[in-house]
Structure 1
Amino acid sequence: MNTADKMSDVVILGAGLIGLTQALTLAAHDLRIIVVDRADPADLLDPRQDARVSAINSASWKMFEAIGLTDELAPHGCPINQIIINDGLKPGRLDFTPDESDGPLGNMLENGLLRRVLFAAAQADRRIELIMSSQVNSVERTEYGVSLVLDSGDTIRAPLLIAADGRGSAMREQAGIVMAKWQYDHSAIICTVAHEQPH
């Protein structure tokens, strides 16, 4: 098996929403990025794998605008024009209503759509290399960067490694970054609702 030694400005582990967004924002500053993910692209882009939606706040929406994604995303989103928070039948509530000049508080978008748009943009960017269906066998950290060996035998070297490989991040644990965890002891029913009428 032939192996390669690749150099990059940044290596990102994880081609999810966070990893791909980070790759595109760094590439916009003319950095060379390698994204590694163990998922098969067909599974990653299958909308049945993630039926959730995300609330993209106005600051994040402006970032998507800066990297040229909002024209494609906007027709499929639902603007957040008001947020009303209350606690069941308890008295009082908290309202967030922006001034008309400020625009919406954000946009609701399906995760599947976000992932497809981000992935296509990353594929089209010459500064980003996507290495899919691949896992990291070992990582060596030095004072000046990291060296990763993939299961293919390829080695990737970069000054910076970003772990965007999910809530169960093995890389985060290896780096000794501690996460606080707790249990709410609540249950939820989650479903997708189609409205006959607009909001």
Structure 2
Amino acid sequence: MTACSNPVNDVTKTEVTEKEPVQISEKVEELQATVKDSSTSSFVPASAPVNPLKISIPSINVEAEIHPYGMDDTGRMAVPEDPEEVGWYKYGTTPGSAGNAVLAGHVDSKVGPAVFFYLKDLKTGDKIHITNANGEELVFEVKDSQKYLPEDAPMNEIFGPTETKSLNLITCTGYFDRSVGHYEERLVVFTELISEI
């Protein structure tokens, strides 16, 4: 998966393991327990959350299906094998509910750019449109984007509880380390809900 700080124009030269998890830490289960424990958090989930089905990001020409994913055998967030599909962390917050909902996708594949290839180009104020299973459209606005080494990522800010209705998008970035078969950093784009249609 390609870098935001070192864009790769000839992505076909980069060998990528498409099954590589984009998860930035192995502490998701611990954070998920915090999210679901109302006695230790002010987080209040929506009364009837509805699964997300599609994502549209007009500013970078993204139109993709969203499918729910849990964790892989290593305890990391699983992601789609299909490079054009986006994964929603189903054990976390549903987009549109109070909390940090998380979507992950590949940045490239062995054959070229993937669904989140241009995620690095998003700017503050850009809009993310999510369509759910009820046909409702949720519009989120980009607030910030940050790159992290996996061991330095602020897991609570990405996956943990919050009173805002947030949606965080994750992909890989930075240098591709061929010796281990994955990118050194993760890009996280932080967004907040601004309207429901």
> TM range, normalised to the smaller chain?
under 0.3
Q: TM-score, normalised by structure 2?
A: 0.22
Structure that is richer in helix per residue: 1
TM-score by length of 1: 0.22
